[in-house]
Each structure stands twice: as structure tokens, then as C-alpha cells.
A and B are shown apart, each in its own frame.
Chain A
Amino acid sequence: MSSSATAAATPEALARYEPVIGLEVHVQLATATKIFCGCPTSFGAPPNTNVCPVCLGLPGALPVLSRKAVELAIRGALALHCRVRPHSRFARKNYFYPDLPKGYQISQYDEPLAEGGHVDIAVDGAARRIGVTRVHMEDDAGKSIHEGFADSDRYSYVDLNRCGTPLVEIVSEPDMRSSAEAYAYLTELKQALEFVAVSTCDMEKGHLRCDANVSVRLKGAEQFGTKAEVKNLNSFRFLKQALDYEIARQVALIESGGRVLQETRLYNPDTGETAAMRSKEHAHDYRYFPEPDLVPLRIGEKWLDEVKAAMPELPADKRARFIQEYGLREYDAHVLTATRSASEYYETAARVAGDSKTTANWVMGELMGLLKAEGKQIAESPVSAENLGDLVKRITAGELSGKLAKEIFARMFATGDAPAAIMEREGLKQISDAGELEGIIAEVLARNPSQVEQYRGGKTTVINFLVGQAMRATRGQADVAAVTALLKRKLRPEDTC
């Protein structure tokens, strides 16, 4: 954030005020085809190729609602604990823009798909429940490209590939009281939607976009202040920065005797500031009215039950199950359910390993450590869940020492190979064969006569030194338990006979 942004309000002034924040989040549904036609939703196709008469808004073309899109939207609504309305309908939101070929967006207005949900968050240990006002479906517009062409000073170009991509808009209650809470809300919301496979929530591809309504009021006041709508918050970092800037701006404005205007402001990630959009750009009267080309959407109990039955487990449910079923600690369960892919990875690995706790330690410790160091997601892990499970299985079976396992794991991470292949190739097999070990131990005993003497004289702790020597001699491949047992036997004279 720029220094001017923070300088706008003193910490004392900020402390007297309470921000009130609500978020409007647009999420792209993970369907293969568009919401009202059969065109693909794939990203990156040449401009204006994933189009047809319907999404181009050609004269006479009519929308037909995708059943799959509705099902994903229902799933998303259920994941946010919303009540799905048995009867909802679509409405036209009318405005002119070159990337809006019909001259209206098909959205939902007075009868949205679902209402009355919530998202639970925790910030600094304080749990709060943020209300979800509504979830409604709509089609996305195309993309206007204002730069990068030889005649960009005079013309803009339009790519309609994205036009008709299915979206849900999720509107929260004005329940958040800090940028940290907004951040936590968006994090939880994203996690929930990813989990139930409603959306990939890929912010870089615009699959999750966020606008915020922000106002401030003196702490203890009941009335809301005048809100500003802040747009273009398309990363978690930008959301927090923009909110902090906007809160400080409003407090400073009020403190200096000014008044917050109800307006739309655009966040500029380069400066970290928000700036009012020209009034013309947002002075819209959308003239909503029911979409006459679509029949009302009726979602009966049967359909709802089918969607529920096909619904993947929600994060909170999964967390509880991990604690119950795998005996994990709350914190571990939280980490391992942070993303759907992490939870799936863990469950697969634990199933192969047959030891849920050791697997949890390995996933959270070695695996996540190396992934983090390389800036990778768990879905990109070079070590497959099956291979990690196999490694853990060998550890718990006593086939590998922890030290050796870590060495093998590092090679697995580098090569993507299975543990058996690496052990074979590198000769990293644990030595637990008594015959092989006896020779090594005899040599250790011969080289360290004074320690042998001490042990036999009653200072039994010296055995640890001797075990260490044996391990060094085998480059760590010896089975510690077997070495210890053998040493004990050799050091007691009565046993040597």
C-alpha cells in the first residue's frame, strides 16, 4: 500500500471507527459448456471461436438453461448452507456495453436460486458467522480489449468466448468488521466451493471475482454509514489492501468534516488506492424484468435430494471426520482439509500406509515443507499419494529408519519415483540381517575396547555411542533396533558363550 494511503487516517482515529463490509463474489461454475448454449467454456481459445447464435445474441436465438449449471449452483448454495428456493426465476439486467451482445445480462433478481446461508470464519481465534444473503445464477459477459492493437488508440476489440459462461453471484450480509474478516470469509467461501467441485476458483483466470461494499461508523453506533462499492478486488492480497485503504480513506474523510459519497470506486493494484469511477460509468438503471425467454426454475425435493446425494463432503464435515476417523488433532485436520486436493492426497496416502497419524506427519512435514520451498501446490506434488503411503508403510513396518526414509523421500521428490525403485537403485535398503550386522558389530567392538570395558563395568549408557558407531559404519542403513539388540548380547559375557 502506498504511504499516502495509510497516512490518510491516524491510528487513533481508525480505532474509534468500525468498518462494515459486505462482499459480492462472482464464481464461475465448473461446467464444460456455457449456461444457455452448448459452447465450450474452455479458457484460452482464439478470440470469438467458442461462440454460437445463442451466446452471440443473434436475432432470434433463445437461451436454454443448462441443467448441469443449475446442479452446480445448487451444490454451491448448499455448501454455503443456503435454502434453495423451490421456485426461482431469471431476470434481464439491461445495459449497453460492447461485450454484452444481447444488451442485457440474464441474471436473477427478485427470486434468486437460494437465500439465507452463512460462512463460519475465525480471525485471531474469534469465531464469527457471516451471513450469506443470496446466491443467484447469471451469464457472464465477453471481454473488451482496450490495449495491445495497432489502432487501440481509436478502437477497442471484443472477444465473446467468455460470453455465456455460467456464474453464481454470492452476496454476503454486511457482517464483516475488518479487512481480516473479509479475507477470512473469502478464504472459507473459496474453500467450500472448491471442495464441492462447484468451481476451480482460479482467481488468475477470473473464475472468482470480488467486489466489496464498505462503510464506516463510530464504534457503538447503530446506523450504518454511507457505503462505497469497491470493484476490481481480484486477489486476496488486493482485497485486503483495498479494504484497508478504503476504510482509512473514509475515516479520514469523516474526521476532516467530509462526507462519504455513495459511489462506485475502482481499486488500482499499482497504487494500492481506490478511486471514484466517473459517474457515467455506473449511473445504471438496469430496468430488471422477468426473462420471458425462460420458464421459471422449479427445483423439487427429488431433484434437490439427487444433488445432495451426489455432493462431495463439505470441509467442516471432512474436518470432523478426520478427527474422528483418523484420530488427528484439530490443527492437523484443519491443515489437511485446507484444500480438496490436500484432503484427497492425505486420505489416499493414509489408506496405502495403514497408519493415519504417521501419514499426517509426513504430509504436513516433509511433503508440505518441500512443496512450499518450491512454491508448488499439493496437486502438483512430484510424489504421488500412493508412493508417500508406501514409504510410510515401510517405516511403520520397521523396514526403514526415519533418517533413511527422509533420504529416500528427498529422492522421490526429485524424481517422482516409487520408494522401492529408489531403494533398489541406490542400495539404500535397511540392513537388518543378523549375519551381516554381526560382522559390523564385531568390528565396532574391536575398535572401541575402552567403551566395551565401561559398559561391562556397569556404565550401560555407553551403548548409545556404540550404536552410533554401527550406524555410521552402515551409512545409516542398519536397523537400529536390531543393532541395539545384537550389541547387548555381545556385551554380556554370559551371552557370548
Chain B
Amino acid sequence: MDIASLTIDGVREGLLARRFSASELATEALRFAEEENGRTNAYLHFSPERALERARRVDEQVARGEDPGPLAAVPVAVKDVIVTKGVRTTCGSKLLAHYVPPYDATAVARLERAGGVILGKTNCDEFAMGSSNENSAFGPVRNPVAPDRVPGGSSGGSAAAVAQGTAVVALGSDTGGSIRQPASFCGVVGVTPTYGRVSRYGLTAFASSLDHIGPFARTVKDAATVLGVIAGRDVCDSTSAAAPVPDYTASLDGNVKGLKLGLPREYLKELTSETGELIARGVEVLRQLGCEVREISLPATDYAIACYYIIATAEASSNLARYDGVRYTVRSGDGETLAEMYRNTRGEGFGAECKRRIMLGTYVLSAGYYDAYYLKAQKVRALIARDFADAFQEVDAIVAPVSPFPAFKLGEKIDDPVAMYLSDIYTITGSLAGIPCMSVPCGETAEGLPVGMQILTRHFDETTMFRLADALERTVGVGNARTRQRG
């Protein structure tokens, strides 16, 4: 059984043709994942009992002739900021090193109900704060394509798990690019759906108004299938949307003729030449498939980074307050006073990046600064959203780079947080606007480093986004050269 090249359809066929059982697949997938993990550190921990239990149920359903669900027996990896009942959820933080949640995230429950088999929890930047996965308290993840390079972040473990082929699909979370950027760096598909499309219930909050759960997969179709499973209104999340969820896979026929694409002028400035060329080639592919491409302008883009790092850190400073050593967080010494216990716990527990963001966020919300920072940033956010709304008057989708450069080397940017923040420029705008956006592989540099193209569409129009990504994938090919070779 070649797990690394399996797709959801492949699993289904093998299962129904009785070439393997769900239990055999789960056992083999766990073995393979543990073996590969020595190279990448993509997983923080595995959940073999839960995986085998779920697989056994799928086998029973198959034996009884019941439909085992659209994700039956599919090996899934889940980012460790998404809570799993009875399975440790650390958020990549020392503070939650021993935390075992008593409930499942809605997305996790839906994945399992659809037959998915969760192998384990994937590494990530601490509380999803970072662009390289180097902020994990449990060590960085190595990019499966180029082991001396980062997989991107913050969902680096999920991207790597899918890229190395240990999981067929994975769940990640995206606040400012944390799905799309690692997908681009690892040469897989990564989707950030419309804000509200997927319930956030059970997603450990970083910045609540920007946080999304979304899928990673090696193919566009698999990503579309997973989104279809996890999307839809959830009464446990007041911000989840009631909009109907279409069958995303139904329209993936390669036909994108007549779709109008916008290429934002502002997104082509800082690109490395190789990334720029690959994006241009991808756009050319879509043009040849019959898309109309025009240049558009998103003038508020220049303010996006500042805007994002005010809103996201403000919300983070509040969301991370609960890790105080009183209940489930690891307490660092009782201290003589309550304040001392807080200082010990948070001072020793949080990594540098979390502390930096908590301080930034606390500052921008402080009395006397709120109007100048937070309120102003909210106004800028509205302008950014308006830029997109204006653009979508003219075009059906926007195509853009995901990152100005491909995967960089471990340690290369870790001492320069501003450089790290700036690398989020192309992904942050879509997050602020709450529109669906994704990264789809668009080719590789001479060194063999994957580059993803970003596709952004109107609110709740994930279908158009998937159609374009699927069309590109049909020409460019699935995944990245190295995993393709190995597969």
C-alpha cells in the first residue's frame, strides 16, 4: 500500500474493493507517519487508539454494507491548536504541554463523522503565531521538500504531513496566511475558506475575527471534499454562517472559460524574480484556458501589515490571557503572591513571539491608544474589504502570489521579526477581508522549491476558487517534484 500517493478517491476504492481495510490502512499510516516524523517533526503526538477505534468502526460499516462516509478511512492530521477530546492539544506551547481537552472541535467531530481517521496532532508555531514553524516549543518542522528549509507557518506540521504523504489530508488554521503560506512552501493545496464558513468551535483562539480552520490536501479535489465535510453553520459558533454549502467537487471539470481574473498591481512589487515568473506562468496557463486576465488595483494593500498586526495582536493579548497558571496551564512555581505566580507562569511559559504579540496587543488596546491604533486599524480593515468588493465588481477571482519568496532556510529570519511579518503581505489582505483564498501549486524554482499561486474569490464563492485551482492543477500537475518522484 503506497500511502504517500493516496487520494480520498484512492482510499475509497481500495476500501470498497477490499484491497485493504480501514484498520490496516490506519495501522500502516501510523507506522509510516512515526517513521517519517524523525525527519520532519511534523507531528507532535499521535493518537493511535482513537485512530484505530475510528478505523474499526469504518470496517464495521463496510462489513454491514453501510455508507462509511465521504472520508471513510482517510488518514487525517490535525493541527495541534484544534482541540481533540482525550488527545493532548498543546498549541505548540509549553504552557499546554499536558493539556487534554474534554471536548472535540466541531471540525474534528465532522471529519470523524464522515469517516476520517485522525492519526495525530501536528506541530505549529506557538498558538499559531509565526510564519516558519520555528516558534513551536517542541522544535521546528523541516520542510519535506528541502530539509534545511522551513515548511512555513504557522500550520507547518499539517503542510509537511500532507507533503510527505503521511496524511492524505490535514486540518490547519489560518489567521494571516498560516494555511496558504506553508501550503505554498511545501507544494500542497491549502484552503482558507470564507470567514464563518467553518465553525471555529474548538479552534484555540489567536485572533478571533481572523481565525479560520481550513484543509490541506495534495489535490484540489481532496481539499474541496474536506471543506464540504467541515463547512456549514454550527450553533456553537455565533460567527459561523448559515449560507448553504454546495458540492464543491461537482463543478471541477477543468472548464474556466470566460472567468475574469484580476492581477493586483500592488502584489507584484516585492517578488523574487523566480516567484514572479512562476506566478506569471500560472496566470498564462489560466489565460490559455480561456480566462480573461486584467490588472487591478487594491490600493489599501500598503496598510495591510500594520492593520493586521494591530488587530491580530490586540485580540491575541485578550485570547491568551486565560493561560495564567490557575487551571489547566502549566504553573511555574506558586510564587509569594498571585501576581508573582502569573509572572512566573507566563514569563516562563510563553515563547518570545507570543510575548511580543501580547505586549503589542496590550499596548494598542491601552487607554489613550485605542483610538489611534485599534480603531484606526478597524477603519483600514474596512477599506481593505472595500478594495476587494470593488475589484469583485469587475472580476470573478483575483490571482496573486502567496509569498514573495519560496521556503527560506531554518534560522534565516528568526531574529528579524519585522522581515518575518512582511513576508505575510499577500496573504494578510484576504484574511482581513474574510474572503475565501487558497494556495495551489504553480511550479518550482530551479532549486526545486515549490511556489504556490493564491486565488481569492467573493465571500462564500469557494466554488469559483476551486474551479480555477483545479484547472491550473490539471496543467501544472499535483504536488511537488520530490514527493511526486517518491510517490
A residues within 8 Å of B by Cβ? 53, 56-65, 92, 94, 96, 98, 101-104, 154, 158, 285, 287-289, 292-295
List CB contacts (< 8 Å) of B338-371 with chain A: 338, 342, 362, 365-367, 370
Contact A56 B327 (CB under 8 A): yes
**B89: interface (CB < 8 Å):** yes
- Taking CB as reference atom, which chain B residue is nearest A36? B238
Query: A38 CB to closest chain B CB, in angstroms?
Result: 10
Task: Name the A residues within 8 Å of B328 (CB-CB).
Answer: 58
- What are 12 sample pairs from A and B whose C-beta atoms fall under 8 A apart? A53-B101, A59-B96, A60-B205, A64-B236, A64-B237, A96-B321, A103-B321, A103-B322, A103-B324, A287-B362, A289-B314, A289-B370
Give the CA-CA distance A448 to B411 in the complex, in Å: 123
Q: Chain B residues in contact with chain A, CB under 8 A?
A: 82-83, 89, 91, 96, 99, 101-103, 105, 200-205, 207-209, 235-239, 314-315, 317-318, 320-322, 324, 326-328, 334, 338, 342, 362, 365-367, 370, 374
- Contact yes or no, B318 A94, CB < 8 A: yes
Q: Taking A57-B322, A59-B83 as contacts, is the C-beta distance between A293 and B314 under 8 angstroms?
A: no
Instruction: From the candidates B203, B318, B362, B370, name the one contacting A60 in the complex (CB within 8 A).
Output: B203
Give the docked Cα–Cα distance between A295 and B209 (Å).
10
Tell whether, in the assembled complex, residue A294 and residue B365 are in contact, meaning their CB atoms are under 8 Å apart. no
Residue of A nearest to B104 (CB): A60
Q: Is the CB of A53 within 8 A of B103?
A: yes
Bound complex: CA of A154 vs CA of B340, how far in Å? 13
Identify which of A58, A65, A96 contacts B238 (C-beta below 8 A). Answer: A65
- Complex CA–CA separation, A292 to B236 (angstroms): 14
CA distance A292 to B374 in the complex (A): 13
| Overall SS of chain B's interface | loop
What chain A residues lie within 8 Å of B235 (beta carbons)? 64
Q: Is the CB of B101 within 8 A of A101?
A: no
Query: Assuming A59-B89, A285-B366, is B239 touching A295 (CB within 8 A)?
Result: yes
How many angstroms between the C-alpha atoms of A58 and B89 in the bound complex? 11
For B370, the chain A residues whose CB sits under 8 A away are: 287-289
| Interface contact B338-A287, CB-CB below 8 Å | no
Q: Which residues of A contact B201 (CB under 8 A)?
A: 60-62
Task: Tell me whether B326 and A60 are in contact (CB under 8 A).
Answer: no
| Least CB distance, A223 to chain B, in whole angstroms | 24
A249–B312 Cα gap in the complex (Å)? 47
Given contacts A59-B96, A62-B238, contact A98 B105 (CB under 8 A): no
Closest to A158 in B: B326
Which of chain B's residues have a CB closer than 8 A to the CB of A154?
334
Contact A62 to B237, CB < 8 A, known contacts A104-B318, A292-B208? yes
CA distance in complex: A204, B204 (Å): 38
- Most chain B CB within 10 A, of A58, A62, A104, A293, is at A62
The residue of chain B having its C-beta at the shortest distance from the C-beta of A94 within the complex is: B318
Closest Cβ of chain A: how far from B314's Cβ, in Å? 6
- Tell me which residues across on chain A come within 8 A of B209, comparing CB atoms: 292
Report the minimum CB–CB distance from A252 to chain B (whole Å): 32
Asked whether B102 lies within 8 Å of A53 as measured between CB atoms, the reply is yes
Cβ contact within 8 Å between A293 and B365: no
Q: Do A96 and B366 touch (CB < 8 A)?
A: no
- Interface residue from B99, B238, B318, B334 paired with A63 (Cβ < 8 Å): B238
**5 nearest A-B residue pairs (beta carbon):** A103-B321, A287-B365, A292-B208, A292-B209, A59-B204
A98 cross-chain contacts in B, Cβ below 8 A: 324, 326, 338
Given A98-B326, A104-B321, A287-B317, 9 other A-B residues pairs in contact with their CB atoms under 8 A:
A53-B103, A60-B201, A60-B204, A64-B235, A64-B238, A94-B365, A96-B321, A101-B327, A102-B322
CA distance in complex: A59, B239 (Å) = 17
Nearest-Cβ distance from residue A351 to partner chain B, whole angstroms? 44
* Chain B nearest CB, measured from A95 CB (Å): 8
Closest B residue, CB atoms, query A48: B327
Given contacts A96-B342, A101-B326, contact A287 B366 (CB under 8 A): yes
Which of A57, A60, A285, A292 is within 8 Å of B202, CB to CB? A60
Tell whether A293 pairs with B238 under 8 Å between CB atoms, given A59-B96, A60-B203.
yes
